[in-house]
Structure 1
């Protein structure tokens, strides 16, 4: 049985960590995937950033109702993953405006792409998708967008995308059951201490860090994030997952 075929309680939601910033979600009648990086595209372009461990699942082996991309960097909008994904005709894709253009160029039907920038929202398959402010880490990704998903049973999750730290990020952050913050602290992204400050602002029931494990030169020890969560009173809410490990709430 594939991991995404595992049952989830009717009043529950579940996610699986795919490595880097990738997550797969299942709740009620809907499934979603966000930023799956299931190749070594970055390492092939820049060898020092090769994968530290093998791809946990092949892109052609996953299927989701909703496929979300937060911005057009190779480890978030991965051309190899998109090309190999076998359900482009059935899946609804969500992304910021520039990423939407890239998705279409990679064979995703235009009719299956919904643009959701920060401040926008859409409802797809009963899932409310809100674009949340993120401070893009480069001029090439000025439309970087975080996303909050609210499922039909009320369960919610907020994925920060890549983002730099600023007061507006804190001010714009929504409440959510689960917060998924970037923590690597390199190339403009939130560091562990900054991600803990965002956690305090969001006040989630659980916080699961990402963007720290796939590339040795762009990594962070997630225990550093747990330490800062403990310093701010959120240590018991911090969950660190292994690739393909399930978390249900």
Structure 2
């Protein structure tokens, strides 16, 4: 797994490559079998970046609010609502809630998603842009959790640490810093708060 910019993650399985929220992608790798967009904000659903990473036969998985940006790209796309689960190219994908509780940027009714993807038996949770929300207690077993830590639009480091304690992943990876808001110090604070509780890996 590679964390690229902001919330962008590249996941390499045995037979599949996924990108989640590609943004400011360098070059044109065009190696993605699946591209996931968690909501339609420019730094999460960027048509330019989707086309940079997607193979011609790639499938885009996205929140309902992304359709306007995807319909003219010439790629197959599947729209997901909260708690919807489907298999795409051999990968189990479940959309889960992602929203703000004390900010105006991602209201509950906006329909942004987090995703749980199962690749080669490993369950990876990408939280999307979210605050600490009660639905996190209902995610089930998670091996790797990618959690935003920058504050402003999403959880801050303290809230993200609480989320990790609720989710109890094998590994927690901080994200959503270093590009638009937040810095590596947010990731380091997150790691310090979870010392002795949850293993944290900072991918930079």
Superposition TM-score, scaled by structure 2 size: 0.89
* Pairs within 5 Å for 1:143-182: 143-151=111-119, 153-166=120-133, 168-182=134-148
Report if the CA contact (8 A) 2:65-2:112 is conserved.
no
Q: Equivalent residue of 1:91, what SS?
A: strand
Q: Equivalent residue of 1:123, what SS?
A: strand
Q: Which is bigger in relative contact order (C-alpha 8 A, separation at least 6)?
A: 1
Q: Which residue pairs with 2:171 in the alignment?
A: 206
CA distance in 2, matches of 1:122, 1:178: 20
Q: Is the counterpart of residue 61 in structure 1 residue 29 in structure 2?
A: yes
CA distance in 2, matches of 1:194, 1:171: 14
CA distance in 1, matches of 2:130, 2:161: 14
Q: How many residues align?
A: 198
Q: Which has the higher helix share?
A: 1
Q: Say which one has the larger Rg.
A: 1
Give the drift of 1:101: 2.9
Q: Equivalent residue of 1:185, what SS?
A: coil
Give the drift of 1:62: 3.6
CA distance in 1, matches of 2:30, 2:109: 27
CA distance in 2, matches of 1:210, 1:194: 13
Superposition TM-score, scaled by structure 1 size: 0.74
Give the drift of 1:75: 0.8
CA distance in 2, matches of 1:172, 1:69: 22
Report if the CA contact (8 A) 1:133-1:173 is conserved.
no
Q: Is the counterpart of residue 238 in structure 1 residue 203 in structure 2?
A: no
Q: Which has the higher strand share?
A: 2
Q: Which residue pairs with 1:16 in the alignment?
A: 2
